Amino acid sequence: MSELSLLLVVDLVGIAVFAASGATAGVAKRLDLFGVVFVGFMAALGGGILRDVFVNVQPFAFVDWRYAAVAVVTSAATFWLHPTVSRLHWTVLVLDAAGLGLFTVTGTLKALDAGIPPVGACIIGMITGIGGGLIRDLLTGEIPTVLRREIYAVAGLLGCASVAALDALHMQRPVSIALAAVLVFVLRMIALRRNWSAPTAT
Amino acid sequence: MSELSLLLVVDLVGIAVFAASGATAGVAKRLDLFGVVFVGFMAALGGGILRDVFVNVQPFAFVDWRYAAVAVVTSAATFWLHPTVSRLHWTVLVLDAAGLGLFTVTGTLKALDAGIPPVGACIIGMITGIGGGLIRDLLTGEIPTVLRREIYAVAGLLGCASVAALDALHMQRPVSIALAAVLVFVLRMIALRRNWSAPTAT
Amino acid sequence: MSELSLLLVVDLVGIAVFAASGATAGVAKRLDLFGVVFVGFMAALGGGILRDVFVNVQPFAFVDWRYAAVAVVTSAATFWLHPTVSRLHWTVLVLDAAGLGLFTVTGTLKALDAGIPPVGACIIGMITGIGGGLIRDLLTGEIPTVLRREIYAVAGLLGCASVAALDALHMQRPVSIALAAVLVFVLRMIALRRNWSAPTAT
């Protein structure tokens, strides 16, 4: 498998996992089939849509039908199979961490390539990773989870900074993507295992 | 009346109806006059703004003052006349179905014309139709109605697919717009009459 | 100090105040440190991001790192110092009125310069001023304050209309910005002192 098609497959797996998380939230809120698929679609692709709006191009989610197809099919499958999906709780968390790592890192590079300076590119990269979950929570009437607990966005942000630094040092893209995405994944897994949280104000 | 000005008039009627729905929701939430007009404006023009952001042009709602004027005047009128508007419940539903048909179908064509492939164009068309109601519900603290019940977005989506197919077959635009918009309208009316809903998960 | 750097300083002060308002809302909702900083960032820069998305350029908040830096540092400081910030309630309201004046007026001019006609430019200017607060309230699960009470957006809108009119009369930019921003500031201050509100429907 070529590098490019490997990246595509990993990308689509991440989208499927994010779609499943959105669809599960929709089922929990008793949305109908359309609502479940819509929330799943937005959870999967909302972060990338925000990224593309900010770098000022037509969102990839609308340009390449495979992204929409994976999001819709996964969401619809979750609608019917949600008890099974719930039982896969830990598997979903692990794949979600992988998706977070990939989306934040590739989002940062896409922003850099569009001429956004490093600080802004890192913020856009982070929004690529957390934006879908934010939209999912807003659509289902919740204060976004990512703002309340656990090390999630911060792990993504460290990956963004790493890939921006490695890119400035002219490291080859596949290597820098892999290193930074693995960093995010490992941080997120450790945070989950040890119940790390960001502090709240006293 | 020329085709173009007929389309404009129908467009503005659709915007007025969507504005009335938004303003009514704002009145119900005890918003002040500004809040009622703002929610009405967003309910009327939010879908088109999202469409234009996604196809990457300056939103038409800001470029042509007539759209804003119709939305603002209708919303303000609803603020003062809302008991009358409420009594027109069925009229509003019928006009709303017409607006849904028009906005989804023309939104799809605008996306196609901007170079978005058919699948993405249909999704953008659907968001053009339901986006205003989504934003209205988010601004008034509700889980969006369109995600919870009734055949609404799905009717719109069938219209999007129809117009994309007819356009690929090189049917003349006024004919394909009319056919697809009427399809959406009829589906939506039947769904309302028969209380059709999408399924919810068990 | 040159005109340009004076404008930058005033801009950054406005951003700091809006960030403090967002961070304070985040602390009140028991968000964690990341959540507080994210809401502060969006409260400070969300209006400008919407403005830039609507005029169809890459958002300035991502292009110039100083904006993000001021928003993040102020939000983090508010996280630790929020009892002090709360005691500065009246100071924050005064600075917020100044920020509202500046953001609405410069937002209008930016939209005009991007080719948006006056009516649309005024609406974009107003959204520049109130957008951050809208996003702050949506992220923290509240119906936006700006839609419910007090003269806030309307003061901003009058400033937008003034600066658009003065600009059409070819008044020099620094003068028209100052006049219109002071108008907004004074209106907002009077409204606060006298508890002016927009009407609600009966």
| pLDDT per residue as tens digits for the range B44-64 | 999 999 999 999 999 999 999
Interchain proximity A32–B199, CB inside 8 Å: yes
Residue owning tokens 């005029």: C55
Return the bridge partners of A200, or none.
Answer: C32
Average pLDDT over residues B105-122: 96
pLDDT for residue B163: 96
pLDDT for residue A11: 84
C20 contacts in chain A (CB < 8 Å): none
Length of chain B in residues, anyone? Answer: 202
pLDDT for residue B83: 82
Interchain proximity A54–C57, CB inside 8 Å: no
CA distance B138 to A39: 14
The tokens for C95 are 């600075």
pLDDT for residue C1: 52
Residue B197 has pLDDT above 80, yes or no: no
Return the bridge partners of C200, or none.
Answer: B32
The tokens for C68 are 């993000």
- Subunits with 3+ C-beta pairs closer than 8 A to C: A, B
Give CA separation, A65 vs A12, A60, A78, A104, B48, in Å: 12, 9, 20, 22, 22
- Please report which confidence band the pLDDT of residue C3 belongs to, taking 50, 70 and 90 as the band edges: low
In chain B, whose CA is at the least distance from the CA of C197?
A: B32
State how far residue A39 is from chain C, nearest Cα, in angstroms. Answer: 17
Least confident of A110-114, B151-155, C160-164: B151-155
Give CA separation, C37 vs A143, B202, C32, C99, in Å: 15, 39, 9, 19
Question: How many other CB atoms are there within 10 angstroms of residue C89's CB atom?
Answer: 10
- More confident site: C95 or A5: C95
Which of A35, A64, A69 is facing B147, going by the closest CB pair? A35
State how far residue A39 is from chain B, nearest Cα, in angstroms. Answer: 8
Residue C30 has pLDDT above 80, yes or no: yes
Interface residues on C facing B, Cβ-Cβ cutoff 8 A: 53-56, 111, 114-121, 123-124, 134, 138, 141-144, 146-149, 153-154, 197-201
B24 contacts in chain C (CB < 8 Å): none
pLDDT for residue C149: 74
Interchain proximity A32–B148, CB inside 8 Å: yes
Interchain proximity C54–B56, CB inside 8 Å: no
The tokens for A86 are 């719930």
CA distance C55 to C51: 6
Backbone φ and ψ for A200, nearest 5 degrees, come out as -110, 155
Interface residues on A facing B, Cβ-Cβ cutoff 8 A: 26-27, 29-36, 38-39, 41, 49, 53, 56-59, 61-65, 68-69, 79-80, 82, 138-141
B142 contacts in chain A (CB < 8 Å): 141
Q: C-alpha angle with apex B75: B129 to A138, nearest 5 degrees? A: 50
The tokens for C121 are 């430019």
Residue owning tokens 């009229």: B91
pLDDT for residue C84: 79
Q: What is the pLDDT of residues C71-91, one digit of tens each?
A: 999 999 999 998 877 777 788
In chain C, whose CA is at the least distance from the CA of B78?
A: C201
Interchain proximity B58–C53, CB inside 8 Å: no
Residue B130 has pLDDT above 80, yes or no: yes
Whole-complex ipTM: 0.93
Interchain proximity B56–A61, CB inside 8 Å: no
Q: CB of A22 within 8 A of CB of A65?
A: no
Which of A138, A149, A198 is facing C138, going by the closest CB pair? A138
Interchain proximity B80–C142, CB inside 8 Å: no
- Please report which confidence band the pLDDT of residue B88 belongs to, taking 50, 70 and 90 as the band edges: confident
Residue type, C94: V
Helix axes A65-87, A3-28, angle to 10 degrees: 50
CA distance A56 to C176: 30
CA distance B190 to A129: 41
CA distance A38 to B148: 11
- Please report which confidence band the pLDDT of residue C13 belongs to, taking 50, 70 and 90 as the band edges: confident
Q: CB of B25 within 8 A of CB of B86?
A: no
Which of B116, B134, B138 is facing A62, going by the closest CB pair? B116
Q: What is the Cα Rg of chain C in Å?
A: 16
State how far residue B1 is from chain A, nearest Cα, in angstroms. Answer: 35
The tokens for B48 are 């088109």
Average pLDDT over residues B70-89: 88
CA distance B18 to B39: 10
**Cβ-proximal residues to A127 (8 Å cutoff; 6+ apart), any chain:** A47, A50, A51, A54, A107
B35 contacts in chain C (CB < 8 Å): 144, 146-148, 198
Give CA separation, C40 vs A132, C31, C74, C90, in Å: 20, 11, 8, 19
Interchain proximity B62–C154, CB inside 8 Å: no
The tokens for B106 are 């023309």
Helices (H), chain A: 3-28, 33-55, 60-63, 65-87, 89-113, 118-139, 153-168, 173-194
Q: C-alpha angle with apex A133: A13 to A9, nearest 5 degrees? A: 10
DSSP designation for B147: G
Residue-level pLDDT, tens digit, chain A, 202 residues: 566 677 788 789 889 999 999 999 999 999 999 999 999 999 999 999 999 999 999 999 999 999 999 999 999 999 999 887 777 778 888 888 988 999 999 999 999 999 999 999 999 999 999 999 999 999 999 999 899 877 899 999 999 999 999 999 999 988 999 999 999 999 999 998 888 877 887 7
Give CA separation, C93 vs B133, C8, C14, C26, C128, in Å: 33, 21, 11, 17, 18
Q: What is the pLDDT of residues C164-193, one digit of tens each?
A: 999 999 999 889 999 999 999 999 999 988
- Subunits with 3+ C-beta pairs closer than 8 A to B: A, C
